[in-house]
Amino acid sequence: MAHFVIIGAGECGARAAFALREKGFDGDITLIGSEPHAPYERPPLSKVGLAGNADPKFIAARESYEAGKIRLLTGITATSLDTAAHAVSLSDGSQLAYDRLLLATGASARAFPDAPAESPHIRSLRTHHDAVTLRAILQPGKRLAVIGGGFIGLEVAATARQLGADVILVEGLERVLKRGVPEDIAHLIAARHRTDGVDLRCGVSIESLTEQDGKAVIRLSNDEVIGADLALIGIGAWPNIELAEAARLVIDNGIAVDDRLRTSAPDIFAAGDCCSFPLAIYGGRRVRLESWRNAQEQGTLAAANMLGADEPVSAVPWFWSDQYEMTLQITGLADGAVTHLRRDLGEGAFILFHLDAEGRLLAASGIGPGNAVARDIRLAEMLIAARAHPDPAALTARNVKLKTLLAA
């Protein structure tokens, strides 16, 4: 009987395992994960999950793996990969032979240079375990220092304020969310954080990050010294490529795959945060996405292609972030955009459409309370997928429904 092995029991690996069964695969499936838990959702770790729940939000109940005859190995790491022998070695000393393999190893939080690696006061946030440690200090009378004004840092800052902790956030660049978020939206988010009492400092670099007397100590470039009960490092993530690299798979900003999610080694696929892939709607440009929906969709697509479907990646990138009462949604990739058009949606919500020099819609970014931008972002996504060149006047006119542009 064929044996399909999935390394990485996160969003992507779990979705792939279930998708294999849903698509009729009746061979053996082994899903291997380093973490002690069954696969769980990461987005809640910086949002409500951090505020309330003691357990992670599992992607599926344990019984679902049993029902689907998916052998789930938790707390076990794949330590090496022999592509010629089609075999994987595991941290418990065992070896597994595979017919097809999926690498869904995800990403790890980037460490701050020269900061103590094991300090309880200097942490990053990637796992449920990280979230539990962080949650313990998010209470009145405690001080959190967030290093980096990216999505995770900002979401944690919002959650920390909601739980009553003092928050200072230090960003080295001149504004938060410099990567991928338009200035208007970033300013709005920064203002919201300041209104809620976050001491937000931009354009300040950090000279050193150390631990002293049970505190994190941050020395800024202006010689100011900040003490905090915990410093949360939120300076991005690196793809987990070590296993693939040691097995001599091609690496290019992640495990390089083609548009079918095939790696350079026979019978090995890669998907989710760990891989870079060519995106046809942007001229085959190679990208690596760190996004929940991408991990889900690529898990499902990898499963189909492991079964021989031969389907290309076609999804438009999509990402969301929740901070306070606001939700930000971004679809597409805005690099190369020269025109940015605004459509107001009421209740403080708006969308920016990003167009290239020929008027093609490349991306849309929207922000507003709750779900205010969801429907229009979904329509923008469909316009992007259709490579549409929408009428700029119609994009900005609130009384023109985006749906009509799609029909056009």
Ligand X SMILES: Cc1cc2nc3c(=O)[nH]c(=O)nc-3n(C[C@H](O)[C@H](O)[C@H](O)COP(=O)(O)OP(=O)(O)OC[C@H]3O[C@@H](n4cnc5c(N)ncnc54)[C@H](O)[C@@H]3O)c2cc1C
Candidates 54-62, 164-172, 267-275, 400-408: pick the segment binding ligand X (CB under 6 A).
Answer: 267-275
Nearest CB to ligand X, comparing residues 246 and 338 = 246
Site string for ligand X, 214-253 (x = CB under 6 A): --------------------------x--x----------
- Residues between 110 and 139 with contacts to ligand X, criterion CB under 6 A: 125-126
Among residues 273, 398, 377, the alpha carbon closest in space to that of 321 is found at 377
Largest Cα–Cα distance in the chain? 65
Segments of 280-356 assigned E as strands: 285-287, 318-323, 326-332, 339-346, 349-355
Nearest CB to ligand X, comparing residues 46 and 83 = 46
Whole-angstrom distance, CA of residue 163 vs CA of residue 39: 27
Q: Indicate the DSSP class of residue 71.
A: E
Coil/strand/helix, residue 22:
helix
Whole-angstrom distance, CA of residue 181 vs CA of residue 187: 10
Instruction: Please give the C-alpha separations between residue 297 and each of 173, 273, 315, 326, in angstroms, as whole numbers.
Output: 33, 12, 8, 25
Size of the residue set binding ligand X (CB under 6 A):
37
Q: Which of 319, 324, 350, 353 binds ligand X (CB under 6 A)?
A: 319
Angle CA 180–366–332, to nearest 5: 50
Site string for ligand X, 69-108 (x = CB under 6 A): --------xx-------------------------xxxx-
| 373 is a contact residue toward ligand X (CB under 6 A) | no
Whether 45 contacts 237, CB under 8 Å? no
Whether 103 contacts 7, CB under 8 Å? yes
| 292 is a contact residue toward ligand X (CB under 6 A) | yes
Q: Which of 29, 38, 45, 255 binds ligand X (CB under 6 A)?
A: 45
Site string for ligand X, 156-195 (x = CB under 6 A): ----------------------------------------
Q: Which of 5, 8, 288, 381 binds ligand X (CB under 6 A)?
A: 8
Count Cβ atoms within 10 A of the Cβ of residue 98 and give its class: 0-12 exposed, 13-18 middle, 19 or more buried: buried
Nearest CB to ligand X, comparing residues 160 and 355 = 160
Candidates 10-18, 197-205, 244-252, 351-359: pick the segment binding ligand X (CB under 6 A).
Answer: 10-18
Instruction: Please give the C-alpha separations between residue 124 and each of 187, 312, 351, in angstroms, as whole numbers.
Output: 25, 35, 31
| 10 is a contact residue toward ligand X (CB under 6 A) | yes
| 320 is a contact residue toward ligand X (CB under 6 A) | yes
| 333 is a contact residue toward ligand X (CB under 6 A) | no
Task: Look up residue 73 and give its two tokens.
Answer: 């190995």
Q: Which of 122, 163, 295, 377 binds ligand X (CB under 6 A)?
A: 295
Nearest CB to ligand X, comparing residues 110 and 293 = 293
Whether 312 contacts 304, CB under 8 Å? no
Compute the least distance from the CB of residue 11 to ligand X, in Å.
Answer: 4
Query: Torsion over CA of 164, 217, 232 and 111, rounded to 10 degrees?
Result: 180
Candidates 4-12, 93-101, 175-183, 249-257: pick the segment binding ligand X (CB under 6 A).
Answer: 4-12
Compute the least distance from the CB of residue 10 to ligand X, in Å.
Answer: 2
Q: Which residues bind ligand X (CB under 6 A)?
A: 7-13, 32-35, 42-43, 45-46, 77-78, 104-107, 125-126, 152, 240, 243, 272-274, 290-293, 295, 319-321
